Amino acid sequence: MKAVVVGSGGWGTALAQVLCDNGHDTVLWSHNPAKAEEMRRTRENPLLPGVKLPEALQVTGDLACLDGAELVVSAAPSFAVRETGTKIAPYLRKSTVLVSVSKGIERGTCKRMSELLWESTGGVCGIAALSGPTHAEEVGLRLPAGCVAASLSGDAARAVQDAFMNAYFRVYTSYDIVGVELSAALKNVIALACGICDGLGYQDNTKALLMTRAMAELTRLGEQLGGSRRTFSGLAGMGDLIVTCTSMHSRNRRAGILIGQGMPVPDALESIGAVVEGYYAAESVRELAAREEVDMPICRCVWEILYQSRDPRTATGELMGRARKDELLGATWM
């Protein structure tokens, strides 16, 4: 099968390697022809140091590589997904399976990545989302990992599962593309919060409390938007939340640490040297929570820290001092 990965970041490169390992005729496209040439010459992506690209992997800056592709993977950063969809649309066919692996929500519209691809490509082919607790750095080293291929089409989800699954990369299928994509985007906000906790010197108890109660917030919003509660407790939800909140591979967590240590937010974001998706997702969460009338105090406090320069310790005090609650809302005593 011919597969093209559109986007030569760390994640796109790691997934191109998986497809190559599975014997597919795989091309990695970069929007920067100079970067493509450098990767061809060195057989390495600077974002994945020490990971040698398979000899069979083709790298190019020419979009004509999409001709005849049966599987197309959209691996652009969230802010570039709509533009990417427009660029690749002329090359897609009805039989193509288009896979979104970007994690984010579009600013202003609050739309998920698959919705952007559907609009920008004119809905010419089936779309799936692939997501889960999978750092590119570890997938590049071929360490065991698992994720979820979600689509409204069972055939598309299974096609993605078949294309990617191998001895080190396990793929489950799901019909709940809404929940999978929301989990992917919203957990970045909580990873920022966990990083802030680290920067403040808070330890394991605090982070366990934060992650668990934040997931309750994300689940409430996700269900309101049409996602399944089970998705948020699975690989794409809690699984991705755990890995993003606890790993130093996470740009969101690293940015949060700097903010918790007192660095101004713009400086913290710039110092990471790559897109910190949680910063933008925090604004989208605020808009969605207001629109859907879902109470999300943790996410609100994160937004206030990021956008209104609120002191993190003051925000912590507010959250800890909230009114008494029953953990199982709506439950009754037996």
How many other CB atoms are there within 10 angstroms of residue 327's CB atom? 8
Name which of 28, 188, 27, 43 is nearest 102 in CA terms: 188
Q: What is the CA radius of gyration of the chain?
A: 20
CB 232 within 8 A of CB 183: yes
Which pLDDT belongs to residue 327?
87
Per-residue pLDDT of the chain (334 residues; tens, 9 = 90+): 999 999 999 999 999 999 999 999 999 999 999 999 999 999 999 999 999 999 999 999 999 999 999 999 999 999 999 999 999 999 999 999 999 999 999 988 999 999 999 999 999 999 999 999 999 999 999 999 999 999 999 999 999 999 999 999 999 999 999 999 999 999 999 999 999 999 999 999 999 999 999 999 999 999 999 999 999 999 999 999 999 999 999 999 999 999 999 999 999 999 998 889 899 999 999 999 999 999 999 999 999 999 999 999 999 999 999 999 888 876 666 6
Count CB atoms within 10 A of the CB of residue 267.
11
For the chain, domains (ranges, CATH) are 2-175 (3.40.50.720), 184-320 (1.10.1040.10)
Q: Is the entire prediction scored with pTM above 0.75?
A: yes
Enumerate the active-site residues.
187
Calculate the alpha carbon distances from 65 to 25, 29, 54, 166 in Å. Answer: 11, 8, 18, 25
